[in-house]
Structure 1
Amino acid sequence: MITLRPLTIENLPSFYNWIRDEEAIFYSLSIFQKMKTDQQIEDWFINTINNKKNSNHGIFVGDVFVGYAGICGISTTNKSGEYFIFIGDKDYWGKGVGTEVTKQIVKIGFEELNLNRIMLTVSVPNKGGVKAYERAGFVLEGRFREAAFRNGQYHDKLVMSILKSEYS
């Protein structure tokens, strides 16, 4: 069973390993590419859990903490925000966790946060992510050309969104 719970300081140790795993962070936040020390990771994590402008949730499969997801950049004026997900525990990749979590966060966005639009960006090579977002109802809006630089190469990022009127 996949559940979302508040992130707590007890979740921090998992991030020390995940953020140092180049494969785990390959398609994730650019800031993850630069964090090398425990202090940098801790500072980022404390900022994350204290940021009340974002909707942050720990991802749990049973009692196992596997990542976090939520909506950032929430605009109460425009009733919009940007979806994010990071599954750091690679044992849970490719098992439908991303699709299920995405659906749960979209529900929170529309039903609890009263948003009208939720968007995201995803790296083109992240085929699993693209599929998960499509299964959750996101549609392609456009492409940012050569917007990400990883391992000495540029790759495009897709812009996808879902509207409240499309949510069922």
Structure 2
Amino acid sequence: MVRLSPLQREDVAHFYKWIADPEVIEFSMSVFQSMSTPQQVDAWFVATLQDAKSLNLGIYATDTNELIGYAGLSGVSTTNQSGEYFILIGEKAFWGKGIGTAVTKEVVAIGFTTLGLNRIMLTVSEPNTGGLKAYAKAGFRVEGRLRQACLRRGSFHDKIVMSMLKSEWQQ
């Protein structure tokens, strides 16, 4: 249903629409909450593509080759053999179809095999029940809680810290 491939410069146009939709970015990176112009999105996107400590992959629909989201690993540390997982499925028509779980498993496999990581972690907003389920299905375990670490729509909520070790990974 989807394939992962490195993001391309021309993919930025999809992010204009996604970042402008509060529902799409509600539980996503804080930086998305403050971007409101194409120039801001362009600057973020260029920096993202140039970030040597991150793996940034586009999620493309296999039948149309349309970019529907992106996922990867940020803050990759070769010293600590660790990184932080992220995903954004920007096209709402693809929500709730198991794509998040499938992509998560694929990126985790890349992290453990190609990048040689030992630990992959993530944070997820507690109200993001779909994300919590997808990450648990992919093999992540709850490690802790960051109390009131996120402010959305005028209210604070907790962020759940989850991780997976290479020794726990189900290939």
What does residue 147 of structure 1 align with?
149
Moved over 4 A (4+): none
Deviations 1:93-117 (A, max 9, x none): 1111100000000000000000000
Alignment of 1:121-136 (within 5 A): 121-136=123-138
Alignment of 1:28-47 (within 5 A): 28-47=28-47
What does residue 115 of structure 2 align with?
113
Percent identity over the alignment is 57
Could you tell me how far apart the structure 2 residues matched to 1:19 and 1:66 are?
13
What does residue 157 of structure 1 align with?
159
The residue matched to 1:113 in structure 2 has which SS? Answer: coil
The residue matched to 2:116 in structure 1 has which SS? Answer: coil
The residue matched to 1:78 in structure 2 has which SS? Answer: coil
Could you tell me how far apart the structure 1 residues matched to 2:157 and 2:25 are?
15
Match of 2:76 among 74, 77, 97: 74
Deviations 1:67-119 (A, max 9, x none): 10000011111100100001111111111110000000000000000000000
Number of residue pairs the alignment of both structures matches: 168
Q: RMSD over aligned Cα, in angstroms? A: 0.6
The runs of 5 or more residues in structure 1 that have no matched partner are: none
What does residue 91 of structure 1 align with?
93
Could you tell me how far apart the structure 1 residues matched to 2:117 and 2:107 are?
11
TM-score for the superposition, normalised by structure 2: 0.97
Could you tell me how far apart the structure 1 residues matched to 2:104 and 2:160 are?
16
Deviation at 1:33, TM superposition (A): 0.4
The residue matched to 1:23 in structure 2 has which SS? Answer: helix
Could you tell me how far apart the structure 2 residues matched to 1:17 and 1:64 are?
14
In structure 1, what residue type is equivalent to 2:41?
I
Deviation at 1:9, TM superposition (A): 1.1
What does residue 2 of structure 2 align with?
2
In structure 2, what residue type is equivalent to 1:143?
R
